[in-house]
Structure 1
Amino acid sequence: MDQPAEAALIPAAWVRLRDMVAARTPADGRTDALYPGLRCYRFSRPVRYEKTQRLTPGVVVVLQGRKTAHLGGDRRSLDYGATQCLVLGAEVACLGTVVGASADAPYLAIHLDLPPDVLVKSFVALAEGGALAAEPARVTENFTAPVALEVVEAFARLLLATDDPMDRRTLAPLAVEEIVLRLLRSEAAAAIRSAGAVTRAGARIQTAIAFMRRHLSRPLSVAEIASHVHMSPSHFAHSFREVAGVTPMRCIRDLRLEEARVLMLGAGLRPADAAAKVGFESAAHFNRAFRRRFEATPAEYVRRAQSG
């Protein structure tokens, strides 16, 4: 596609967010923001992801360039570019290839994991208010679509809020909630989660996630959490994944990793101390899980964040 002609069609909000992402990605690859689940990507040449990433429900907004993705066991190739997004409706393995990128016009994208607690809270609120988008006859868990300008503007506010510690605590969560709410009022709602499942079990799943957060530092089992919300373990596990998009144990692990990241960057804890504080049984297990999620060891991640 002719880049100048394409650029002429992109509204100012897109250009602003694109420039913000470009300014926050000094080198090719992945750059994590200080806010949990938010990261930016830059690639100055076509490249194939050699490893398969295991992704939670989320949204990837492409601001410049093009990319293709193969998700899970699906043989289809999803192709998406500037002004489009990839919606990930559940935990899925992703093999990606950047197909449109150059030194003058690098591939730029922003990715936000959709927090299970925010998803459930938003789904419940919209379902009770009758404001959920109508569900199509056939639900596709992962799909590409144009992105509304309101979502782009919310991403810009989120990215700005990550620059200041107080804004990260107060304004950033509001921007994330807005992004989730706007996605759930669009055709993305069906891909992200089943509204029927939320109306049946949403409040209990919300309670379960709050219980997880309060008890991250000690061992937790599906049976214990299910008992806390008065559900059988099998029904709870099924409902949790149907509503939140990930298994309960995956949710616990991700909550622990995010809390450990905050403790290392914000409180200066050593990786082993942070791992122990959030409930990992061994430093080796923590290191493996951290590297899978953040593409770096805990020590490498801290050094990169401090130098960035």
Structure 2
Amino acid sequence: MDTLLAPTGAALCDTPQEPDDLGQRMAGLIAPLATGEGFISTALPDVQVVAMQCSQPRTPLIYDPSLIVIAQGRKIGYLEDRVIHYGAGNYLIQALPLPFECETLVSPDQPLLGVSIGIDRLVLDELVRTMQARRMTPPARSPVPMAAVPMSASMGNAVLRLLECLHDPLCCEALGPGRVREVLFEALRGPQSDALWQLLQDAGKYSRIADALAYLHRHYAEPVSVERLADEVNMSASHFHHHFKRTTQLAPMQYLKRLRLLKARVLLGQRIHNVNLTAAAVGYQSPSQFSRDYKRYFGNSPANERPG
């Protein structure tokens, strides 16, 4: 298995950073918006605040492509052989929706508080076209799809302005999309910019794998083959399989299985279906195979996941 390494010279930050006044100011703006647990919607469609009152053990999950800033508390991500710490002082960029495991650490008097900003490839494309017009060139490094990087002063100020905007409905309506663009602009100039620039290189293998992942997320409940995915992104099956695994650390069908199981866990938690109907809803032909795979991945049977 190929190991996902930080590119030479990149200021990636897989070790914790010390919290500072910036984190405290962000936490003060996030706390009034944290009306529940987990990812909470805001007045801006691509922005969610994140809140957790208690520490959470290591558990499998998947994020949509996003930039995540933790202002208080910290998280530890586990992506194959990498350990990624992110808390106050840095931010996480997940350029591709990769299944990973995550642990949340909070103190009794300080809940985890953060903000998640969706990565919109159309917005990135507009920004990159402007940057290229100014003769700014994309980084030459190989992209790392998921990494924590240090929070620069300009990025921190952009996030603060976005958070301030969330408290003013008129500001959200008039300026909110621009505040999101400002954060993504700073990310395109930051140490994890290579992963974002490469999303937009239509002829590049990284961009094609991103397209294949988007296809899987739309069609995960349908019969899917490696050949079908390769056709969707105009690659041979062998080259697609190689580059998919190199980028995600998983073979295509391994990724699909994890995606289906993660989707199933959400359905079970929402009590939408029983176990058999949940299995069918995420694309499993055999409920018994679904139950075996689910228990192997999560350490618990699907029947025990349904609350009440």
TM-based fold match above 0.5: yes
| Contact 1:61/1:110 (8 A) holds in 2 | yes
Task: Provide the rounded CA distance (Å) in 2 between the counterparts of 1:175 and 1:68.
Answer: 27
Equivalent position to 2:282, from 264, 278, 282? 278
SS in 2 for 1:303: coil
Q: Are residues 129 and 174 of structure 1, via their aligned partners in 2, closer, same or farther at CA, if it must alter by over 3 Å?
A: closer
Q: Are residues 278 and 73 of structure 1, via their aligned partners in 2, closer, same or farther at CA, if it must alter by over 3 Å?
A: closer
- TM-score normalised to the size of structure 1? 0.56
| Contact 2:124/2:184 (8 A) holds in 1 | no
2:234 alignment partner in structure 1: 230
| Contact 1:197/1:239 (8 A) holds in 2 | no
1:24 alignment partner in structure 2: 36
Equivalent position to 2:147, from 113, 135, 142? 142
Aligned length: 272
Equivalent position to 1:85, from 44, 66, 91? 91
Name the amino acid aligned to 1:84.
Answer: N
Higher RCO, 1 or 2 (CA under 8 Å, sep at least 6)?
2
Matched, 1:62 2:62: no
1:190 alignment partner in structure 2: 194
Task: Provide the rounded CA distance (Å) in 2 between the counterparts of 1:92 and 1:83.
Answer: 24
Deviations 1:146-172 (A, max 9, x none): 2545446668999xxxxxxxxxxxxxx
| Contact 1:280/1:286 (8 A) holds in 2 | yes
2:52 alignment partner in structure 1: 42
Task: Provide the rounded CA distance (Å) in 1 between the counterparts of 2:161 and 2:291.
Answer: 35
SS in 1 for 2:108: coil
SS in 2 for 1:219: coil
| Contact 2:77/2:100 (8 A) holds in 1 | no
Task: Provide the rounded CA distance (Å) in 1 between the counterparts of 2:295 and 2:49.
Answer: 15
Name the amino acid aligned to 1:65.
Answer: G
Matched, 1:15 2:20: no
Name the amino acid aligned to 1:15.
Answer: G
Deviations 1:185-215 (A, max 9, x none): 5432225674586542577557645654564
| Contact 2:271/2:307 (8 A) holds in 1 | no
Query: CA offset at residue 220 of structure 1?
Result: 0.9
Task: Provide the rounded CA distance (Å) in 2 between the counterparts of 1:179 and 1:291.
Answer: 39
Query: CA offset at residue 64 of structure 1?
Result: 1.2
Q: Are residues 111 and 249 of structure 1, via their aligned partners in 2, closer, same or farther at CA, if it must alter by over 3 Å?
A: farther
Q: Are residues 85 and 289 of structure 1, via their aligned partners in 2, closer, same or farther at CA, if it must alter by over 3 Å?
A: farther
Matched, 1:108 2:83: no
Q: Gapped runs of 5+ residues in structure 1? A: 26-30, 159-172
SS in 2 for 1:275: helix
Task: Provide the rounded CA distance (Å) in 2 between the counterparts of 1:59 and 1:277.
Answer: 29
Query: CA offset at residue 272 of structure 1?
Result: 2.2
Q: Are residues 213 and 111 of structure 1, via their aligned partners in 2, closer, same or farther at CA, if it must alter by over 3 Å?
A: closer
Task: Provide the rounded CA distance (Å) in 1 between the counterparts of 2:66 and 2:220.
Answer: 23
Q: Are residues 246 and 111 of structure 1, via their aligned partners in 2, closer, same or farther at CA, if it must alter by over 3 Å?
A: farther
SS in 1 for 2:69: strand
Q: Are residues 143 and 258 of structure 1, via their aligned partners in 2, closer, same or farther at CA, if it must alter by over 3 Å?
A: closer
| Contact 2:73/2:88 (8 A) holds in 1 | yes
Task: Provide the rounded CA distance (Å) in 1 between the counterparts of 2:29 and 2:306.
Answer: 29
Q: Are residues 204 and 81 of structure 1, via their aligned partners in 2, closer, same or farther at CA, if it must alter by over 3 Å?
A: closer
Task: Compute the RMSD of aligned alpha carbons.
Answer: 5.5
1:169 alignment partner in structure 2: none
Query: CA offset at residue 24 of structure 1?
Result: 1.4
- Judging by fraction of residues, say which structure has more helix: 1
Query: CA offset at residue 223 of structure 1?
Result: 1.3
Task: Provide the rounded CA distance (Å) in 1 between the counterparts of 2:61 and 2:266.
Answer: 22
Name the amino acid aligned to 1:63.
Answer: A
Q: Are residues 58 and 148 of structure 1, via their aligned partners in 2, closer, same or farther at CA, if it must alter by over 3 Å?
A: same
Query: CA offset at residue 241 of structure 1?
Result: 5.7
Matched, 1:249 2:253: yes
